[in-house]
Chain A
Amino acid sequence: MASRIEIYSPEGLRIDGRRWNEVRHFRCAINTHPVSSDGSSVIEQGNTKVICNVIGPAEPTLRSRVISDRVSISVKLVVAPFSMIERRKRPQNDSRIQEMCSSIQHMFEDAVIAHLFPRSQIDVNLYIVAQDGGVLQACINATTLALIDAGVPMYDYVCACTAGMLDREVLLDLNRIEESAMPFLTMATIGGTRKVSLLQLEMTVQFDRLEPMMAAAMSGCHHIRDLMDSEVRKHGKSRLERGSF
């Protein structure tokens, strides 16, 4: 099937009509679940949709999770069975899901100003409603926004983006079809800096091709950071105008 689809046309257009350095349509909403959680967000990157709910900082549920000098973060990820083309119920302890949860947990334990909330716990619940590539990156971006909405102090945004390499062409922000056709990496940066929090590559790639992929992913992350920042400021402004708390 993949061989009949032209991933990157000679004119420089991808399957969905984007250029190589264009990020998918990015829509985010903050404070979407004001009653059930302390902070929430919904992120749509192209067709990938992720909902994030954050509860906390609060009393820890498990005594074994208590860390005496900083906050502990617990991440749960649920993939909806209707999120893929074929309806499939993923088992809860799938190792890929567990790996994603553990990556997100470690990332945010470092990104949140943790020493302000000793002996507390922040629960992050992620729901993947639709998958079209870039699931990990959407989860990371959604978590950042939800934590900001919950009022958890953070050092900076954590923004993620994917980049792949098809022959010698770098493509930014891949969808599902592109992800299965080429090696790609997922990168998460701290805001607009050059510091990388997460870097994940799962398919074999020539070493010389790594640098352009990382450069493209980094600029994608910075772009997404600007998109998230404008949404956060817009949301903050509307809250101030409404006068609500």
Chain B
Amino acid sequence: MPRDLTPSTIENTFVLKALTERIRLDSRSFNQLRDLDISFSSTDFGVVDVKLGRTRVIARISAEISQPYADRPYDGLFIISTEISPMAAPTFEAGRKSEDELVISRIIEKSIRRSGALDTEALCIISGEKCWAVRADVHFLDHDGGLMDAACIAVSAGLLHFRRPDITIVGVGSRREVIVHPITERVPVPLAVLHVPICVTFSFFDVRKASAAIAGLPGKDNMKEADDDDVEEENDSSTTVLVDATLQEELLRHGYMSVTANTNREICQIQKGGDMPVEVGKLLSCAEAAIMVAEKVTKLINKRLKEDEARRNVGNLLVEARAENDRYIV
């Protein structure tokens, strides 16, 4: 049964009052991310467990051979499925798409698929006939805010971690056959990931609205209305920006903006919902902050990937099987 997670008035005024005093309930600074933990499965390739604070998301990447679209014979298929089940939170209904779900799935689509994080041309096997169909399934286990951030990190890390079976094409012309080598026979091949998109969500709070809400507390002057003379003064201090909101902060925020960036200083997508108008300079500085967060998170992903590889290659067998030169990533 879907239940609305509307917070109580007392919670509302407490959180907003704390924000006007520059305090967050979990004592983070306003632009600090929660503790991020990325762990890869030790048995399967492409299974990632991401914990962003108490939000938990698992992404699973899988690939199978399929037929490409008729109008794109040189491209493989890449599908991201982000169905949220009631396991994440009681407001989500299995089968019915709520508005939050729609926003999350659209943003992940834009961040990862439309930005071309995965090179679909490298997934082509025989043009027009056979290609790899890569599928990313995201399972939302716990909802404590930042579902799209965690999902984006999970899918990006999963794409980097996944290994598909190696294939050989035998024969010529119409009698071509594709032999798929099991991973016990040949070393599986990584996917061609062009860049690592990381999504960062900024939550906006209007200080004037917050003060008006706090003024509604019993005992205070109930007749106080939001100042109309402040409309002319467009200073930055009227908007509070939080990075990586918890569920409570998400439910109370007046507006949000979701920016996906990567380490190449590129912005892959921006989605600022129409909730609360924000001054344009603030939006630009948020976009810049997103790039710094993307760099930190990508560094962490690479660190965990290296640790996972070290765990798997106990005898250093895979290292000897590689013909690549060493790459130095700064």
**Interface readout for B280-299 with A: 1 if CB under 8 Å, 0 if not?**
11011001100100000000
> Is B270 interfacial (CB-CB < 8 Å)?
yes
Asked if B267 is at the interface (CB within 8 A of a chain A CB), the reply is yes
Contact B272 A99 (CB under 8 A): no
Is A128 part of the contact surface with B, judged by Cβ < 8 Å?
no
Q: What is the interface residue range for chain B against chain A?
A: 20 to 34
Greatest chain B CB density within 10 A among A102, A190, A194, A196 is at: A196
A36 within 8 A of partner (CB)? no
Given A207-B287, A218-B280; A194-B274 close (CB under 8 Å): no
**A202, B99: Cβ atoms closer than 8 Å:** no
* Residues in B neighbouring A195, C-beta threshold 8 A: 234, 277-280
Contacting pair B114 A206 (CB below 8 A):
no
Indicate whether A95 sits within 8 Å of B274 (C-beta atoms), given known contacts A211-B284, A214-B280: no
One of B257, B269, B274 near A104 (C-beta < 8 A): B274
| The stretch of B100-108, B159-167, B172-180 that contacts the partner chain | B100-108
- Known contacts A210-B287, A214-B280; is A202 also within 8 Å of B274 by CB? no
Closest B residue to A198 using CB positions = B274
Q: Shortest beta-carbon distance, B301 to chain A, in Å?
A: 19
Which of B102, B115, B272, B279 is within 8 Å of A102, CB to CB? B102
Look across to chain B and name the residue whose beta carbon is closest to the beta carbon of A190.
B277
**Which residue, of B110, B269, B277, has the highest number of chain A Cβ atoms within 10 A?**
B277
Residue B275, interface by CB 8 Å? yes
Cα A106 to Cα B105 with chains together (Å): 18
At the interface, yes or no: B271 with Cβ under 8 Å from chain A? yes
Chain B residues with CB below 8 A from A103, complex form: 273-274
Distance in angstroms from B253 CB to nearest chain A CB is: 12
> Which of B275, B284, B287, B291 is A110 in contact with, Cβ under 8 Å?
B275
CB pair A102–B266 under 8 Å, yes or no, is no
Residues 136-185 (chain A) with a chain B CB within 8 angstroms: 185
Q: A195-B279, A199-B257 are in contact. Are A107 and B274 (CB under 8 A)?
A: yes
User: Min CB distance, B232 to chain A, in Å?
Assistant: 9
Q: Which residue of A lies closest to B291 (CB)?
A: A207
Query: Is there a chain A Cβ closer than 8 Å to B187's Cβ?
Result: no
B267 touches A205 (CB 8 A): yes
Interface residues on A, range: 35 or more
Q: Quick check: A106 and B267 within 8 Å, CB to CB?
A: no
B114 touches A102 (CB 8 A): no
- Which of B99, B267, B288 has the most chain A CB atoms closer than 10 A to its own CB? B267
- Bound complex: CA of A42 vs CA of B35, how far in Å? 50
> Is A85 part of the binding interface, using a Cβ–Cβ cutoff of 8 Å?
no
Residues from 96 to 110 in A contacting B, C-beta threshold 8 Å? 96, 98-99, 102-110
Which residues of chain B are near A109, meaning CB under 8 Å? 274-275
Is B181 part of the binding interface, using a Cβ–Cβ cutoff of 8 Å? no
Q: Is the CB of A202 within 8 A of B110?
A: yes
> How far is the CB of A45 from the nearest CB of chain B, in Å?
19
Residues in B230-285 with C-beta less than 8 Å from chain A: 234, 257, 261, 265-281, 283-284
Tell me the complex Cα distance, A98–B100, Å.
12
Chain A contacts of B270 at CB under 8 A? 185, 199-201
Are A202's CB and B275's CB within 8 A?
no
Bound Cα distance A218, B265 (Å): 23
Tell whether A37 is near chain B: CB-to-CB under 8 Å.
no
Selected from B102, B115, B274, B287, the residue in CB contact (under 8 A) with A197 is B274
Bound CA–CA A207/B267 (angstroms): 6
Q: How far is the CB of B42 from chain A (nearest CB, A)?
A: 34
CA gap between A185 and B257 in the complex, in Å? 14
A210 to B266, CA, bound (A): 10
Is there a chain A Cβ closer than 8 Å to B116's Cβ?
yes
A197 proximity list for chain B (CB < 8 A): 274, 277
Residues of B contacting A199 in the complex (Cβ-Cβ under 8 angstroms) = 257, 270-272, 283
Contact A201 B269 (CB under 8 A): yes
- The contact string, 1 if C-beta is below 8 Å from chain A, for chain B 57-101, is 000000000000000000000000000000000000000000100
**A208 interface residue, CB < 8 Å from B?**
yes
**Nearest CB in chain B: distance from A238 CB, A:** 30
Taken residue by residue from 178 to 189, chain B's Cβ proximity to chain A (1 for < 8 Å, 0 otherwise) reads as 000000000000
Q: Determine if A188 is an interface residue (Cβ-Cβ < 8 Å).
A: yes
Q: Is the CB of A99 within 8 A of B106?
A: yes
- A-B contacts, 23 of them at CB < 8 A, read A96-B106, A99-B103, A104-B274, A106-B275, A110-B276, A185-B270, A188-B274, A193-B277, A195-B234, A195-B277, A196-B279, A198-B272, A199-B270, A200-B272, A202-B110, A203-B114, A203-B269, A204-B266, A205-B266, A207-B265, A207-B266, A207-B267, A214-B280
Give 18 new A-B contacts, CB below 8 A, not counting A185-B270, A194-B234, A204-B267: A98-B102, A102-B103, A108-B274, A110-B277, A194-B281, A195-B278, A196-B278, A196-B279, A197-B277, A198-B273, A199-B270, A199-B283, A203-B115, A204-B266, A206-B267, A207-B266, A208-B265, A210-B284
7 tightest A-B contacts by CB?
A: A107-B274, A195-B277, A199-B272, A201-B270, A106-B274, A197-B277, A198-B274
Binding site for A on B (CB under 8 A): 99, 102-103, 105-106, 110, 114-116, 234, 257, 261, 265-281, 283-284, 287-288, 291
